[in-house]
Copies of this chain bind each other. A is one copy, B any other.
Amino acid sequence: MEQVRVYAPATVANVACGFDIFGFAVDRPGDEVVLTKKDTPGIIISEITGDEGRLPLEVHKNTAGIAIQKYLEHIGRTDQGFTMALHKDMPLGSGLGSSAASAVAGVFAANELMGKPLSQKELLPFAMEGERVACGSAHADNVGPSLLGGFVIIRSYNPLDIIEIKVPEDLFATIVHPQVEVNTKDARSILEREIPLSKTIEQMGNVAGLTAGLLLSDYELISRSLEDVIIEPIRSILIPQFKEVKSAAMAAGALGCSISGSGPSLFALSRGLETAEKVAVAMTGAFKDAEIESEAYVSGINQRGPVVS
């Protein structure tokens, strides 16, 4: 194989109570990488579309470029060169794991072209290196679900321990991206560094509840557990109309609604596609009430991760 086209899914990290430890993948939006072998060593980024000219073409500044570079070093094949075209099919800085999806698509494509010497899960550290460039730290709550699909728990970062769990079949996600921007680094810097023990306990209860709710297909328990008492009260300040949009989602029947990643996108989970679509209408409507344009995506929980397209 000389060329491969790979689509990697967007992801919702944090998932209310699960700051840095929960994430899930959706079917759309996502990022596409077209990777082509070339005869000489080195990676060249030939084009990036859909980024409004904002992403660097230099390999060492690009999440996918770095991920591929680290991968080649690991398998001892820096002699193999690639030309990469990157098509962003989702907004940058939206809280939907845009940089993670690019890194995952890139490293997955490279592994395909090299004859799959590594398993899908073994690609994770290289995609995380890409994330380090974008966010300043190597988080796994976007690259994990984008690479593996489904809902993941990052039990531990050191050593890395990622658990994939099944979700109820009738669980659907609504993601709404408003036309405002939040920088991930800013969104992290405003967080409190010390958490009251009482809030830690409350959050742990919801983390346990959400994990059990998903594994037991208990929608009521999922709904009760989709509460974030630590991060959301602070980060939601950066998102105009947050309260109104969340209220609209809940009134339309969502099981829960919170910030996707570090925002400004919001996600909601619902039982059934029909409800998830009603929730999308309600959420975009609530943004529109404040004259904020937004785009909505409705999908099941993506169980596949990246696909050759």
Contact = CB atoms under 8 A, between A and B. Distances in A.
Interface of A: 17-22, 153-157, 161, 163, 165, 191-197, 200-212, 215-216, 221, 224-225, 230
A277 to B, nearest CB: 29
Contact of A153 (B20, B197, B205, B230): B205
A98 to B, nearest CB: 23
Contacts of A192: 197
Contacts of A195: 194-197, 200
A218 to B, nearest CB: 8
Contacts of A155: 205-206, 208-209, 221, 224-225
Given A17-B204, A20-B201, 15 more contacts: A18-B204, A19-B201, A19-B204, A154-B205, A156-B202, A156-B224, A157-B205, A161-B209, A163-B212, A194-B196, A195-B197, A195-B200, A208-B208, A208-B211, A211-B215
Number of copies: 2
Contact of A203 (B161, B204, B212): B204
Nearest to A192: B197
A204 B209 CA distance: 12
Nearest to A225: B155
B202 A203 contact: no
A220 to B, nearest CB: 10
